[in-house]
Structure 1
């Protein structure tokens, strides 16, 4: 990890750049994939699977037999762990349900908002170098809790044409059985356009590499919604002299091992900490099966030494990390000053990995600085909000004049007339009633 000491503010933009490829170059590679899937359907999906996943697939839909057999292949202890995570995630998300609250803004004028589930949603589950069955929980549970009519799942097969059994087991556990053996940009295209096998959906969820992210952003131009731009994983750590360097090193490595395009950032005001963390990184790296991924990611990562915590907070809010760990004595106090982050982990005993798996919060979060405008996935992500209003005779008499004046001032006379005609009718009816 590169060490930068006391960088001036004018250098922060350059310093905080993510290690991403040229987006135009990625788009140029992804566009032909989207076009071919839209035109050729299943034929294109099978061809791309043969090219990128190195396997010939006959049936894209995972069979009920495969799902049933998968359970036998998942260790019982892992099944128990998945069930614990499922319970916590359900508890955290179910309380996010909003009650319908009717508000009388003035006598006779009642307004309210209703949450209506999105009909068809597609979940993209990365399965390349790391089969993320935990993401099945993070996306599938709120989709089911929201009551979406159709939930489908796309994930790449391995070289044997199979889906990791933990992914199938987890999907089945939460009630998802429409699972398709297709990944990458072509998986996103399948859900966006629909094919002979894969249903077209209204909204696509899920993280992925830069090609998946580019595909998600491109299909929004065709009318399909997405959760957010969610690309390569990243973590930032704020640490002071009270931090444990071994803990910090493990947190940095937990993100670095995701892939070579991941980024980790350590920001501290303790001059002695960086050297201690580097020593621990080197020791822990030796025991990691995904050592090569982590080493490459660390080459794109930085340790930044700052003079004070005020500067650290300003820098971090500018960076807007996907994950933020605050490993300091006054972590909660500092946490209150964070305005841009996907998810925040407070204190020395709160590793980011608990949020990735089982604490209950959602791990599908905005990356690449999008945390300054996007939220992570929540129950709300699977709803659309529809507003309603009901105006009574008294209500229209109370509000009508204001609407007429405003519409006339904007030269929208049909708007005004829609109120004027009704007020006239109310007045006429009252006169009739008196006769």
Structure 2
């Protein structure tokens, strides 16, 4: 257990024995947003176990970039290792650096450009399947769209069909329960409570199916031009060694969860925000309809400036609530000495909604990203894909897919919220998802 650091204030709402667990459970996002009011470094007790939250962009950057070597992944990674194994989400040190070098070429911008047509085909098929006046369960169909698109990029061969079906079955369970596991009191780590049983069962099924498809690919020995083929062919530049099948599996699971969950949640929120902002929706449609580029240009954030502003604002408002690190050695953060073994946490969600850096922070305002650079938030205040040596490798893939999907839908339809249907933010492994998102498809010009 980490020791309590003298002089660091505890967050409001602590109760004996349970600490801040009750406050986190009742209103996790509101609680995280409130922490900056208690200080730049704040103690949050999970039961009797202290976690030190840093709440300023400067200190978050220290953790992620300037002092990154002083931290490993910590408690959160320990809790989800059953799923991710030793993939990029959970590994540390030189091994993590090696894996980044091996995986990075699979998401080079040129590779992503080659997958844009796959993204566009799936997005067009979805948009063309709707009828005027149809009520669309957008949360579900966007998740299916993102999963189908990514599955084709990852597994081009039909021999991977069982793995794709398992992704569709297990990922919703994994997304829902991963964050809950991270904040449960430590004594429940190995207790077979329902959340642990569900998560462990789904993780085991997904890993087993990925093991089997990797074995089939290796036996076939063919290059299918997909992500799995790229990972199997990757070689360490220094040693010439390939990844083991087990390591390929761990990276596939990591990439799958990161790519599908974040993108689908962000896209669903994008349509929700546009449905409540008719002028933003109109401007977006005008830019897309007047674009003279090709769909391949959509991988470039500069090609469609207002579309990029919309996506940036969605990613600001709807970000990862909780990330954790563990001090590998004593480290000073903002004048506070963090002892070795202490857990340090931060919330990108709260950072992006800090009123000290974002005027009217809960308002959807794409124009804030079109202002001169001097008027934008300072360095480190906007990190939707993370920063430093753990920055998301698939950010260009996610950006291209979100842009292509927005273009395919907005060019054909206005999506209007169904009266009385107001989505809540629900816990997930990355961006909180909308609980339910019912929208009516209205043809453009109607």
- Place the TM-score, normalised by the shorter chain, in its bin: under 0.3
Work out which of the two has the higher radius of gyration on C-alpha atoms and give 1 or 2. 1
Between Structure 1 and Structure 2, the one with more helix by share is 2
TM-score (norm: length of structure 2): 0.24
